[in-house]
Structures are given as structure tokens and as C-alpha cells.
Amino acid sequence: IDIKTLRSATNGIITIDPGFKNTGSCESAITFLDGEKGILRYRGYSIEELAEKADFLEVAYALIFGELPNAEELAKFHKDIKDESHVDEEMKKILDGFPKSAHPMGVLSSLTSALIAFNPSTVDVSSDEDMYHAIVRILAKFPVLVAWTLRKKKGLPLDYGDDSLGYVENIHKMMFKRPNQDYKKNKVVIEALDKLLILHADHEQNCSTSTVRIVGSSHAGLFASLSAGISALWGPLHGGANQAVLEMLEAIEADGGDTKKYMAKAKDKSDPFRLMGFGHRVYKNFDPRAKIIKVAADEVLADLGIEDPILEIAKGLEKEALEDPYFVDRKLYPNVDFYSGIIYRALGIPTEMFTVMFALGRLPGWIAQWREMRLNGEPIGRPRQVYTGENLRSFVELDKR
């Protein structure tokens, strides 16, 4: 039997769509995205309006449960989160085992997975109550893991949160409070952080979200699904791009700021270099998040009195790309990651932590998508393939090979 006959006998009709460029994996009521028009909406609310008017916790609630919370619902949600914000002390030993040089995304993914051992009741979510419990637990504990990951890198003592603060302010304090110093709230910093987290909160079926849904579809549990999502986000073609953008801008600055040289490299097909922070699988006009972040970068730097030469380099690259037929023809525009790193840097967040900040923002989106997948009773994710290997052949003994 030849391969062709075998294929038709066993596979029936299989669509091949590498990268799932045209394949819908599910029906979803969470995020609407129109890549041609540059529209992004969570639960029907425009990203522009949410970034301006909402805070991150309200957005998280809306993404996960479908509606913006009223004051009472929001207060209960926040209280439930605060009640779960401790992380077992034994987890510190796991963190201790990592070298300081470990990449924070690897550490975060491992810690998220390790958390299951200390919270086994989060795996079986057969009732609504179990599901709510698992969701609140991870929203409470994940920021502690993020803060610990950063503090370990900086050699600072590991701390817990402050229940008197808002969700995002508490995260900021856990990350940056120095021993023997009072923590002073900086409104500009907290608002910028809030906005960045909102802009990253969901983006329908991207690589990490699809990973979360597919791992969750085996009923592996929320934390295991999230840990896999964090690993998927780590890559430079996905969330890791924000770190790669800043490293690229710094390299251009160190090399004399010659943006034209790097534009030429990006266009040279024999050179693997890509202009990081440019291009998007879905947005073929502009990324609405990039527009908001670009304005925010200007505002935050001005408010903090920072003059950053790499902001000018970034603007220069954008201007050149918008006029360059290579980028115009391929519809390559700045994406969410192009300006976000400049703000993170202004907020004092180390470059290696940028993708962790992305994960922090994406957490409610991953949770919402996982919850939707479970509530819809979606079947286990199991794509097919078209086999292109050898036909049946006889085994060859070791001494005859």
C-alpha cells in the first residue's frame, strides 16, 4: 500500500494550515479583534475606553465573568483575592534552588507549576465554586510569585503584599519596596502600570492563550495550563518580543544610533535579523494597543522627567518603516511590544522582567479563556497531521546498519 492510499484510508480529509493562520480553534465571547481595522474590544468594550476609564482589576473581572462588576461585586472580588494572597513558605525553597541568572520567565513558569502541589484543590474544578476558588487563588498568588522572581534577581528579601492597597499598587509595592524604607505611592507610575496591564490582558487565540486552552482541554487544571502558557509567551516571536525590542534599541544606540543600517538588515533576506516589535499575525493595519502605548510612553517619560534617547530611536524606526515599501507592502506596523519596554524601563523594571510583566497582564485573559473552554465543555484539543515519512519497511539489525 503506498503512502497516498494509506493517507486517504486513515485520515479522511485533513486540512493543513501551518501556524493555524486560517483555522478557528473555538467559539469565544471574550475578545473581539478586527486586524484590518485595528479594533480590539474586551467583552464588547473598546480597548481605548477601558485603558482610559477602567482599572486592571475591573477589566480582569469583566474578562473572566463577562460583565463589568458593580461596586459591591468588585469589593467582594478584591477581598476574596486578598484573603488568598499568602504563598506557602516552602515555595521559597524552590525559588532558592534557582541561580540568580535564571531567566525570570523560566522561574515563573516553574513556580506556577509548583504552586499546584500546595493548592491541590485547584485541579478538580467540577463545581462553579471550585472554579471561582482556583481563579481567585491564582489572581492572588501570581503577583507574589512575580515580585519574588524580581526580588530574588535583585537580592532583596522576599515579602508579602499590603492588603490596604489597590491590586496594582500592591503589586508595585511587593516588587519595589526596599528594606528599611517607606514605600511612597507614585500616581503616574501606578496609572501607567495599570494601563499597560489592561492593554495586555487578552488577545483572543494567540500562541500562549491557545496553549492554555489546549493544555486545559485535557483537564490538567488551571495552574498547569497557565504554566504552559507562560512558557509559550516566553518566546521572542510572542511576548519575549518586548525584551528583544529593548535590547535591539539599546544595540542600535550603542552602535551610534544608525537606524537606516538596521532597517537594511531587517529587509535583507539573507540576514535573520527582524525589526523586533514590528509585524503581527492579525493586525494588518495598526495595533491599537501600540497607539495607546506610544502616547503613554511620551506622557510617562515627561511626568517622570526622563529623557530617553531610545524613545527617539524607536520613533525614528517607526517613521522610516511607515515610508518604506518593504514594510508597507507586508503591512508591518509597530505592535504592542514596540513601545511598552520604554515605559517599563522608565518605571525601573529590569529588561529581563519585561515578559513577566506581560504575563502578569495576560493572566486574566488566560483565566477567562480557560474558564470559557471548561464551561463550554470543549473536547480535548488534538490536531491531526498529514504523514510524510517512510512507507512500511523491515527492521535492520544493529550490526547491519
Point out which residues bind ligand ACO (CB under 6 A).
Answer: 19, 237-239, 241, 266, 274-281, 330, 332, 335-337
Q: What are the distances in angstroms from CA 57 to CA 111, 132, 166?
A: 23, 15, 9
33: part of which helix (H) or strand (E)? strand 31-34
Min separation Cβ 110 and ligand ACO, Å: 22
Min separation Cβ 181 and ligand ACO, Å: 35
Whole-number Å distance between alpha carbons of 112 and 233? 14
Min separation Cβ 206 and ligand ACO, Å: 6
Query: Phi-psi region for residue 348, left (φ > 0), alpha (ψ -120 to 50) or beta?
Result: left
Judge whether 280 counts as a catalytic residue.
yes
Query: Phi-psi region for residue 274, left (φ > 0), alpha (ψ -120 to 50) or beta?
Result: beta
> Which DSSP state fits 175?
H
Q: Among 280, 287, 298, 308, which one carries the catalytic annotation?
A: 280
Sequence-distant (≥ 6) Cβ neighbours of residue 192 within 8 angstroms = 296, 299, 300, 343, 346, 347
Using the minimum distance from each CB to ligand ACO, give the nearer residue, 226 or 275: 275
Using the minimum distance from each CB to ligand ACO, give the nearer residue, 104 or 341: 341
Min separation Cβ 278 and ligand ACO, Å: 4
Using the minimum distance from each CB to ligand ACO, give the nearer residue, 307 or 323: 323
Whole-number Å distance between alpha carbons of 137 and 83? 9
Sequence-distant (≥ 6) Cβ neighbours of residue 386 within 8 angstroms = 7, 11, 14, 16
Min separation Cβ 238 and ligand ACO, Å: 4
Q: How far does Cα 361 stand from its chain's mean position?
A: 7
Using the minimum distance from each CB to ligand ACO, give the nearer residue, 148 or 333: 333
Neighbour-count burial of 267, counting CB atoms closer than 10 A to its CB (0-12 exposed, 13-18 middle, 19+ buried) = middle
Count the neighbouring beta carbons within 10 Å of the beta carbon of residue 26. Answer: 15
Neighbour-count burial of 86, counting CB atoms closer than 10 A to its CB (0-12 exposed, 13-18 middle, 19+ buried) = exposed
Min separation Cβ 321 and ligand ACO, Å: 9
Whole-number Å distance between alpha carbons of 124 and 219? 8
Min separation Cβ 180 and ligand ACO, Å: 38
Q: Among 55, 194, 202, 337, which one carries the catalytic annotation?
A: 337
- Residues 168 and 197 sit within 8 Å (Cβ to Cβ): yes
Q: Which residues are catalytic?
A: 280, 337
